[in-house]
Chains A and B, each alone.
Chain A
Amino acid sequence: MVDFKKAVLIITVIGLLFYMPSSGYCQNNNTAEVPLMLSIPPVSLINFAVDGEQVITYSYSLLEPNNVEQIINPNTGDNTWLNYSSIVNPGATNYITANISSGSLPADVTLRVVISEDVGFGSGATGTPIGEITLSSYPQNIIVNIGSCYTGSGTNRGHRLTYIWDNPESYNYSNKYENGQAIAVTYTITSTE
């Protein structure tokens, strides 16, 4: 009887040897891998939108998408909205500066700009406005600590800019504009990297 049990065992093993390769063969190629590359490049785009038609604007968005220029006059007032989109590298932020990029002010005229909080139309880590600066030909920070965010495009989106002219009487806007000496302010968005 011991021999018979051994025989059953041997038959079973032999049977399995024949059976296993055939079932294993069927499962060989039932998966396929696809590699994907997902890429998020840094983004720093800036533009402005103006409520009304009294302001002439230039945008350099084709050649230098990270800066824009606005020609302003004493009537510009608070009709300008700064829009931006930003995607940052880990650990970096973007910031926005402003400077007078063409024209010059009479000695007794100063030009200030007040930067409001983002109105919250968009989403993400929108920047912190500095509050108010006196514009000069040197770039000064106006909005800092911009993370990955977007403000929306158009008026009533992003940060409202309010220009305040001190002694504007001595600045003859129409004369300056016709002679190509109008005051232009350039806004630039830059990464801290």
Chain B
Amino acid sequence: MNKNGLKNILLGICFLLTMTAWAQVWTAGDNITLQISEFALIETNHAPVTLTLATSTAGAPVGSVSNSDVFVKISSIVPGGTDRELTARISSGSIPAGTSLTLVSANCTTTNSGGALGTAITTPITLTSVDQFLVRYIATCYTGTGYNDGYQMTFTWAPLNPAANYSQIAAATYNITVVFTLTAHDGN
């Protein structure tokens, strides 16, 4: 095999690679190749979440407080037979001493959505720095893009075992960031 021959082979292979990568190729026989890449897109409605522990009755402990303003929107395409999960964790800040912050997802809203939107886990997770499942079995689907489309998230903040820990609660303001992740499909 001389050098020129090798170059020609290389050029030929490169040309073939280019054609498959561009996904739609008309050949002499009018064959059409349609390609769908798997993808996972996630966004929230950017609702501000402010929670305040308070009480107005002398003698009463501060009560639990909830916020359900955040909706998580996704678009997902998966290879056949695979699915994704929606998870959450704390990426910055920490939960104030003597309290716990839980999160639970509702099933996806139905108004503007379609596809295999998965199943929300009904038991709230206690948020930590480790990802935990909120929704499982998400396959190819879309949630809609409206402010109140998608998976409605309910944050609940409350004293943690007040009989033992109440004295640890300190007046202050705490900033926390929660990260939602739409995982790679489980065939990856």
Q: Which residues of A contact B (CB under 8 A)?
A: 3-4, 7, 10-11, 14-15, 18, 22, 25-27, 29-43, 45-47, 61, 65, 68, 83-85, 87-90, 122-125, 147-154, 157-158
Contact = CB atoms under 8 A, between A and B. Distances in A.
Given A122-B61, A157-B59, A3 B6 contact: yes
Interface stretch (B45-53, B104-112, B118-126): B45-53
Interface in B165-188: 166-184
B50 A37 contact: yes
Contacts of B60: 85, 150, 152-153
B177 A85 contact: no
A150 B159 CA distance: 12
A27 B184 contact: yes
Contact of A26 (B37, B72, B95, B170): B37
Contacts of B93: 36
B42 A32 contact: yes
B172 A89 contact: yes
B176 A36 contact: yes
B55 A85 contact: yes
A15 B178 contact: no
A32 B176 contact: no
Contacts, number: 204
B62 interface: yes
A155 to B, nearest CB: 11
Contacts of B57: 45, 47, 85, 153
B58 interface: yes
A151 to B, nearest CB: 5
Contact of A158 (B9, B59, B163): B59
B179 A40 contact: no
B91 interface: yes
B174 A39 contact: yes
Contacts of B98: 148
Contacts of B41: 29-30
Which 5 residue pairs are nearest across A and B when measured between Cβ atoms?
A83-B59, A153-B59, A124-B166, A47-B58, A45-B58
A106 to B, nearest CB: 33
